[in-house]
Amino acid sequence: MKISGRSIYTVLVAVPVLWAVSQPAYALLCTRYSLDHSGFVDIAAAASWYPEYLNIPDRHFEVIEGQKSVRSTRLVSYRAGNDRFERELVYQLLPSRKLLASLRQLGGFQLPGDARYDCDKTPEQVLQSFQ
């Protein structure tokens, strides 16, 4: 079976557009532009924590006192062998529509790298959508 360039173009353009259109208006949509994989086994391990696209409901954000940015935190559970662990994933949206994603450091471990995203809303727009 031969795949034409037009078929590939259709998939590359149509799928992201359909995905974006299907997302609710009350969610923050972000695309990763930077990934620091230090502290991870490899870049694929870092990418598993910080996906290429984020869709975070606006209502999950809270005001950071004294700042113009907003924060969302999520507790993530995972297994390593027979052990179960929990980590806190923190998302901070800046007025420039940049989002910083990071894992909270556990004592005694190397600080994991973070990720940076471009988003479709400012903190003010996120807060207005659910007030």
Percent of the chain with pLDDT over 90: 45
110 pLDDT band, cuts 50/70/90, is low
Say what the pLDDT of residue 131 is.
67
Which pLDDT belongs to residue 104? 80
H-type alpha helices, the chain: 5-22, 43-49, 123-129
Q: Give Cβ neighbours of residue 67 (< 8 Å, ≥ 6 apart).
A: none
Report the chain's mean pLDDT, rounded to a whole number.
Answer: 81
Q: DSSP secondary structure string, 66-98? A: TSS-EEEEEEEEEEETTEEEEEEEEEEE-TTSE
Structure tokens at 82: 């027979």
List pLDDT tens digits, range 13-66. Answer: 444 544 444 455 689 999 999 998 887 888 898 898 899 999 999 999 999 999
Q: By three-state DSSP, how is residue 5 classified?
A: helix
- In this prediction, residue 12 carries a pLDDT of 46
Global confidence as pTM: 0.74
Quick one: pLDDT band at residue 107, thresholds 50, 70, 90?
A: low
More confident residue, 129 or 73: 73
